[in-house]
Amino acid sequence: MIMQDFTDEQLVAAYLKGDEKALEILISRHLKFLYNFVYGYVGNRQEAEDVVQETFVKAWRSIKKFNKKKKFKTWIYRIARNTAIDFLRKKKDIAFSNFEGEDGNNPIIDTMADPEPLPDELFDRQDLGAALARVLEELSIKYRVVLTMYYQEGLNFQEISDYLEEPVDTIKSRHRRALIRLRQLILDAPKIEFNP
C-alpha cells in the first residue's frame, strides 16, 4: 500500500513514528479545503492564507495529543475554525484611535482606500465569480461558512454539523436561511453589466 492511499489517521501514526513525508501528504490533502473553509470566515485571500498556515503550525505542535479514535479532518477543521475566530477577534480589537497624532489626524484612516468601486471599475469587471464573491461577503460568517462547506467542499449536513459541533437541524436551517438571504442580496444588488 502506497502512502498516498493511507487514511489521515494512518498518516498521523506514520508521522509520529518519524516519517516526515506523511505530514506533507496530510497538508497537501487538506490545504485547499481548509483554505476555502477559512476564507468563508475571513473573506480575504491573504488573511485566509495566514490563518491556514497558523492552523497547520498549531496542528503540528499538538499532533502528539491527537486522539486516534477521532477523525483527523474533524480535528484540524476545529483548529482552523478556532484560529479564524481568534484572528477575527484580534482584528476587531485594533483601535484605530491609537494611531492619532497630537493634531488629531489619523494617518491610517486618512490613507485607507475607499472600499466602494468607482463606476468605471464596475463596468470593466467581467468575472461573474467576482461579483458573486462580493455578494457572499455580505452574508454573515455563520451563513458563509455553511455555504462554503456545502457547495465548495462538498460536505453533507451531518459532516458540517460534526465539524462545527452544532446540531444538524441548526446547520440545515442555517443553509436554508443563507440561500434565502443570498437570493435577496442578488436581487437587491445593483445591476452590473458584464462584457462577454
Q: What is the pLDDT of residue 105?
A: 55
Amino acid symbol at 86: D
Pick the CATH number of 1-94 from 3.90.79.10, 1.10.1740.10, 1.10.260.40, 3.30.70.1560: 1.10.1740.10
User: Grid coordinates 499532533 are at which residue?
Assistant: 63
* Residue closest to 51 by CA, chosen among 60, 59, 42, 63: 42
Taking only the tens place, the pLDDT of each residue in 117-144 is 444 444 444 445 566 667 777 888 888 8
Q: DSSP of 115-180, one letter per residue?
A: SSPPHHHHHH---HHHHHHHHHHTS-HHHHHHHIIIIIS---HHHHHHHHTS-HHHHHHHHHHHHH
- Residue 137 contacts by C-beta under 8 Å, 6 or more apart in sequence? 43, 144
Pick the CATH number of 113-190 from 1.10.3210.10, 1.20.1250.20, 1.20.58.390, 1.10.10.10: 1.10.10.10
Q: What is the mean pLDDT of residues 49-78?
A: 89
* pLDDT exceeds cutoff 60 at 89: yes
Contact 163, 155 (CB under 8 A): yes
- All CATH 1.10.1740.10 domain ranges in the chain, comma separated: 1-94
* pLDDT exceeds cutoff 70 at 187: yes
* pLDDT exceeds cutoff 80 at 37: yes
Q: What confidence category does residue 1 fall into, taking pLDDT thresholds of 50, 70 and 90? A: low
Question: What are 36's three cell numbers?
Answer: 476555502
Output the pTM of the full model. Answer: 0.56
Q: What confidence category does residue 52 fall into, taking pLDDT thresholds of 50, 70 and 90? A: very high
Report the distance separating Cα 34 and Cα 42, nearest Å.
12
Q: What is the mean pLDDT of the chain?
A: 77
Residue 82: CB atoms within 10 Å = 12
Report the distance separating Cα 140 and Cα 119, nearest Å.
26
* Residue closest to 173 by CA, chosen among 150, 143, 153: 143
- All CATH 1.10.10.10 domain ranges in the chain, comma separated: 113-190
Q: What is the pLDDT of residue 194?
A: 45
Q: What is the pLDDT of residue 189?
A: 65
Radius of gyration, alpha carbons of the chain: 20
Q: What is the pLDDT of residue 168?
A: 92
Q: What confidence category does residue 191 fall into, taking pLDDT thresholds of 50, 70 and 90? A: low
Taking only the tens place, the pLDDT of each residue in 100-122 is 555 555 444 444 444 444 444 44
Contact 121, 81 (CB under 8 A): no
